Structure 1
Amino acid sequence: MDPFINMSAQFPNGAVPNPRFVLLDYFFPGFSMFTSALHTYLGIDLNFYIPLLVAIFGLNFVWSYFSTSAWAWIDEYLMSSFRVRTDDEIYNMLMLWISRQKFSQNSRRFLVNTDLYSRSSYIWGGSNDDSDDEDGDEEISVDILGPKQTLHYTPSFGSHLFWYKGWPLFFERHQNQQQINFQSASEREELSISCFGRNPRLLKELLLEARQMYLKKDERKTLIYRSSSGSAYGGEPYWQRSMSRPNRPFSTVILSEKMKQDLIDDAADYLNPATRRWYANRGIPYRRGYLLYGPPGTGKSSLSLALAGYFRMKIYIVSLSSINATEEGLTSLFSNLPTRCLVLLEDIDTAGLTHTREEPDATPAPDSNPNSPKPPSTNTGSGGRLSLSGLLNILDGVASQEGRLLIMTTNHIDKLDKALIRPGRVDMIVPFSLADKTMTESIFRAIYAPFESEISATELALGSKSGTSTPKRIEPDEEAKERWARQHAEISQRIEVLSVQFSAKIPEHEFSPAEIQGLLLKHKRSPDDALEAADDWVIQTRKDKKEKEVQEAEKRRKEQEEEEKKAKAEEEQKKKESEGNTAKTEGVDQKKSAETKSADDTPKEPQSTGEGEVKAETPEVAKDEKKNTASDSEYERV
């Protein structure tokens, strides 16, 4: 049917739309009625406007096509750019720099975060331990609800224009096309910065500035990395930044001054670049190892932290007791270590690698029950649990990493294999012991020694006394500094006297430095109260230790009794099984004997074979013999 006839039928008054609108009416039903209504009631003729709209849309399409093509050509041949993904630490550096820029603060489309850093599960996750203020210093708050978290503003997804050193740059934040299912939306992103010109010098200066800002933030901190497994579906382990700690002064480590100085001198000589060349010229592996041993709470981990902070090194902590501590995993971790770092193996005696090479000929006692479960072996091969030989090859094998300081800590040095602590693997052994008189005095002085930052500079400058209103802060003058020096000397002298009195109340070689420090921290603002509480503390601590020893002895006794009961039950079970097997065997033998006896008692028809041999006769044989006998008788008669 002709559409024009239908339209004439729909509009009997003759107001038929223009035929050029037929195609539009075909794609947009009701368009002709709409145009007719506009023409009838409003006097608007779309014959004039539609060509103009078509021309506008056409020009817009042409402009969009040519502008996109032209910008793609400019971006390809006339601009320089770089991209950053979340699985690298440069993402953290660039995001910190972006958050400090003016265009990021003034952007109308922005993202707000309390943590700028990547939470990617690959490499640099877990670095949200730092809260930075506007100047890059860690913000400290005394709010009872917890530390304040700084809000960081960064541009949202899309392209943003900003100026850097007088040049226009484009910052773009967009989704990563290669998305991974188990990553969050905030991690599936990429950052890019572009600038006009084919020389990327400006971009490299920007990256260098961002890196310096990031490193300055951690200038007075010790970065701690821990080994972590791969992705949620398995993978190679990697180093994950876990936290950053303020550098610990060596003066706070409770150890003899001679031992501390020897350790510092040895590490400084090893880290000297000339020493590396000396090692290389003589073909000696460039490695250094220390063993710290002693009772718990004596300061082994504190010394490791202080040594790393003193030489501005990162700490890489490896847990050998982890379920992921395999030979292949540790080999991968050690191969990714930087050339200047400190590797810490804590409590190496608890990793199950003790005395696995000193008793190669030891054979287990024979087990009467072959079906009993065998204990797991600690000396497994490659790909399974870590073995002692595998650990030794990782530490100083042919393919081992060089240029790192290795520190091993243990509470029981006698449990370690001699091959693990031989010279070459362990170059210096540092013993730690329970607190003696000198160590107790050092701990007391370290807790109560006066620091200038703890005394109000305002009081020193104006001479205000405690309890008065705080005056306006000004810089202390020379008189205030002299007054501080005299006050410091008086307080230090008094603390020295109290430390001697305190050490006299604490028995030597009975308590660890951590235990003594715990007592002093309870009275950290009153040395007199700590001195007064020392006697009661000694009595109570001894009582608690004795009760703990009794509880542990009782626990060991119960465990031993349970083991004995279990062993006895197993022995009885084996005895019953053995008796059952014996009775079953005897029954079988008796049955066989009875069958044999019944077979012997069965009557048989014997047959003489000339010399007493008997054999059974058959009817055919008897008949033949009878015939032969008759023949013989007849022959005799003849």
Structure 2
Amino acid sequence: MTLLDAALSALASNQLLAGGIGTLAFGSAMYLLRAVPDRTLALVGKTVWTTVFVESMSNEYPDVDAFIEGKRLNFFSRSLEMKDGSLKTGFGGGWGLYQGVLFKYAKTKSAQQLTHFETITIAFLTRDRGVVERFMRDCKPEEHRNSIHISMYGAGGSDGGMRRRKRGLETVFVDRAMKDRLVSRLKWFLGAEEWHASRGIPWKLGVLLHGPPGAGKTSLIHALASDFDFNIKYIKSLHGLGAAFKSGTKNDLFVIEDIDAIAGGLSRDGTKESAIDGGALRGSPLHEILNSMDGMQTPDGLKFIVTTNHLDRLDPAIVRPGRIDEVVEVGPLSVESARAMFRAFYGREGIGAYAPRTGAELQRMFSTMSAEEAEGELGRKVVERVREVA
């Protein structure tokens, strides 16, 4: 008798043993049969769905949140919430239809964050990435397509934001060579990731604009961001600068205005105290700020513009080469720029005698005077200056 014959004989004579083995075999078969569909469905899910995640810290979140409301299938999506005075898509999941493509979404809120944090996950039943790109583009309302988003960052992190209408560079009256220099540098930087990597140089760009109040520094930044379709992240406090920088994307331009004023509470040892954002905070060591601008904490692709009315008041470490890559003086307008501004306001050529004025001074003059009155006033100022020198 072979071993197989002996085993079969034992099973035939012992029904309890035969039942146990049969049950085990049946259970194993069912487990395998159940696992195959689950794994197949998971594989199919990864293959046929295209998923995008949108976080509440991103500029696109409000637009996506509102857009889903008009595309969801209400029969399967009954969760709502009150937001901005109207009912919007609530937390939870649901289904929607966009350009004939079915999508499912889930809106969740994190309970482990110090600040309010939400995520919308959208999965489209298609392999066509173009559908997702069109969805994200169509989410943006018409009025937002001609605007940039400005986010505020204080000592405690994100502090809300607002939208500003885009501004053309041709509406900013500063010397043309200065505008061309900054536009050229930004264009080169955006395409120079490989150039920096091959030379072991951090891929970041720091620009400092300095000059008297009213010279056009803020207007120039607004126009540059508009021209490159950047969103602005506006730094109100240097405390937490590193965390703010890490939140940036390739479409973000960080702006630190009047750095000499907001750096007053910074010290090299962190012992000085200052009132920031309405509360007393211990001053951050200066090296933390410097390392955020150019150090191990500096993220790739970082772009920031710093402004000051008093270049001589800045710590030399802030403006050293490598930390600040471009130092640009924005001063009173040249006669060519002043005449271009005159043409824009009055629609004709003008200005004979001229002594340098800031853009803000000329704007106030051109907004309140006739062309003849403005020319006369500018001429009188030239005569007065000559007499003072004499």
Structure richer in strand, relative to its length: 2
Q: What secondary structure sits across from 1:420 in the alignment?
A: coil
Offset at residue 298 of structure 1 (A): 0.5
Q: Is the 8 A contact 2:101 2:126 kept in 1?
A: no
In structure 2, the residue matched to 1:270 is 189
Which amino acid letter does the alignment assign opposite residue 362 of structure 2?
I
The answer on 1:508 being equivalent to 2:349 is: no
Does the CA contact (< 8 Å) of 1:356 and 1:388 recur in 2? yes
8 A contact 2:72–2:95 mirrored in 1? no
Between Structure 1 and Structure 2, which shows a larger proportion of helix residues? 1
Matched, 1:94 2:64: yes
The residue that corresponds to 2:388 in the other structure is none
Larger RCO, structure (CA 8 Å, separation 6 or more):
2
Q: Is the 8 A contact 1:355 1:415 kept in 2?
A: no
Letter of the 1:291 counterpart: L
Is residue 174 of structure 2 the alignment partner of residue 255 of structure 1?
Answer: yes
Distance in 1, matches of 2:372 and 2:82, equals: 48
2:150 corresponds to 1:224: yes
Residue identity opposite 2:206 in structure 1: G
Instruction: Give a deviation string over 1:133-191, Cα, whole Å, max 9, x none.
Output: xxxxxxxxxxxxxxxxxxx7756899987655557777788x979699998xxx9x997
In the other structure, the counterpart of 1:288 is 205
Identity of aligned residues (%): 27
1:423 alignment counterpart: 321
Partner of 1:434: 332
Q: CA deviation at 1:409?
A: 0.8
Q: How does 1:538-617 map to 2 (within 5 A)?
A: none
Give the SS at the match of 1:292.
Answer: strand
Does 2:254 correspond to 1:343? yes
1:230-252 per-position Cα deviation (integer Å, ceiling 9, x unaligned): 4xxxxxx24x5512222221112
Contact 1:222/1:315, CA 8 A, preserved across alignment: yes
1:201 counterpart letter in structure 2: T
- Counterpart of 2:165 in structure 1 is 246
**SS where residue 161 of structure 2 aligns?**
strand
Q: Give the drift of 1:192.
A: 7.9
Match of 2:224 in 1: 307
Please tell me the residue identity of whatever aligns with 1:349.
D
How far off its partner does 1:313 sit? 1.8
**d(CA) in 2 for partners of 1:429 and 1:389?**
21
Distance in 2 between residues matched to 1:264 and 1:182, nearest whole Å: 36
Task: Show the counterpart of 1:297.
Answer: 214
- Check the 8 A contact 2:103/2:125 in 1, yes or no: no
SS of 2:189 mapped into structure 1: helix
Give yes or no for the alignment of 1:411 onto 2:309. yes
CA RMSD of aligned residues (A): 4.7
Any idea what SS the aligned residue of 2:254 has? strand
CA drift of 1:435 comes to 3.6
Q: C-alpha distance in 1, partners of 2:320/2:69?
A: 51
CA distance in 2, matches of 1:279, 1:168: 43
Letter in 2 for 1:97: F
Residue 514 of structure 1 deviates from its aligned partner by 0.8
Q: Do the aligned partners of 1:349 and 1:416 also contact (CA within 8 Å) in 2?
A: yes
Residue 347 of structure 1, CA deviation? 0.7
The match for 1:627 is none
* Cα pair 1:176 1:190 within 8 Å, conserved: yes
What is the deviation of 1:350? 1.3
Deviations 1:77-120 (A, max 9, x none): 7997999898454652433323444967x99x99798849xxxx
Structure 2 CA distance for partners of 1:85 and 1:283, relative to 1, 3 Å:
closer
Superposition deviation, residue 434 in structure 1: 2.4
Cα distance in 1 for residues equivalent to 2:196 and 2:183: 19
For each residue in 1:380-414, what CA deviation from the matched residue of structure 2 results, as whole angstroms up to 9, or x when unmatched? xxx93123322212211223223122211111112
Query: Residues 411 and 172 from structure 1, CA distance in 2 versus in 1: closer, same or farther, beyond 3 angstroms?
Result: closer
Q: Take 2:260 and 2:180, find their aligned partners in 1: how far apart are those partners?
A: 27
Please give the TM-score of this superposition, normalised by the length of structure 2: 0.66
Please tell me whether residue 317 in structure 1 is matched to residue 234 in structure 2.
yes
Please tell me the residue identity of whatever aligns with 1:98: I
SS of aligned partner of 1:446:
helix
Please report how far the alpha carbon of residue 354 of structure 1 lies from its aligned counterpart in structure 2 after TM superposition.
Answer: 9.9
Separation (CA, whole Å) in 2 of partners of 1:179 and 1:283: 37
**How far apart, in 2, do the equivalents of 1:395 and 1:384 lie?**
20
Over 3 Å counting, the alpha-carbon distance change for 1:376 and 1:424 in structure 2 is closer
* Residue 315 of structure 2 is aligned to residue 398 of structure 1: no
**2-side partners of 1:352 and 1:177: how far apart?**
34
For residue 342 of structure 2, what is the aligned residue in structure 1? Answer: 444
Alpha-carbon contact 2:267-2:284 (below 8 Å) kept: no
Q: 1:214 aligns with which of 123, 130, 139?
A: 139
**Distance in 2 of aligned mates of 1:260 and 1:182:** 39
AA at the equivalent of 1:408: V
Query: Please, what TM-score do these two structures have when normalized by structure 1?
Result: 0.43
Report the residue type matching 1:347 in the other structure: D
Give yes or no for the alignment of 1:517 onto 2:363: yes
Q: How far did 1:531 drift?
A: 2.7
Distance 1:222 1:190 in 2: 22
Equivalent residue for 1:331, pick from 230, 234, 242: 242
Give CA deviations for 1:559-612 in whole Å, capped at 9, x if unaligned: xxxxxxxxxxxxxxxxxxxxxxxxxxxxxxxxxxxxxxxxxxxxxxxxxxxxxx
- Is the contact between residue 366 and residue 374 of structure 2 (CA under 8 Å) also seen in structure 1? no
What's the secondary structure of 2:282's corresponding residue?
coil
- How many angstroms does 1:279 deviate by? 1.3
User: What CA distance in whole angstroms lies between the structure 2 residues aligned with 1:266 and 1:300?
Assistant: 17
Q: Structure 2 vs 1, CA of residues 533 and 210 (structure 1 numbering), >3 Å: closer, same or farther?
A: same
Q: CA deviation at 1:346?
A: 0.8
Q: Equivalent residue of 1:201, what SS?
A: coil
The answer to whether the 8 Å contact 1:394/1:400 transfers is yes
Judge conservation of contact 1:83–1:190 (CA < 8 Å) in 2. Answer: no
SS of equivalent residue, structure 1 residue 337 = coil
Deviation at 1:260, TM superposition (A): 1.7
Which whole-Å CA distance do the structure 2 matches of 1:267 and 1:158 have between them? 42
Q: SS at the partner of 1:447?
A: helix
Distance of 1:414 and 1:442 partners within structure 2:
31
Residue pair 1:340, 1:403 contacting (<8 A) in 2 also:
no
Larger Rg over CA atoms = 1
- Counterpart-to-counterpart distance in 1, 2:273 and 2:87: 54
Change in Cα spacing, 1:353 to 1:204, as seen in structure 2 (3 Å) is same
Query: What are the ranges of 5 or more consecutive residues in structure 2 without an aligned counterpart?
Result: 1-37, 275-280, 382-390
The residue identity in structure 1 corresponding to 2:255 is: L
Whole-angstrom CA distance in 2 between matches of 1:268 and 1:190: 33
Q: Residue 338 of structure 1 aligns to which amino acid in structure 2? A: T
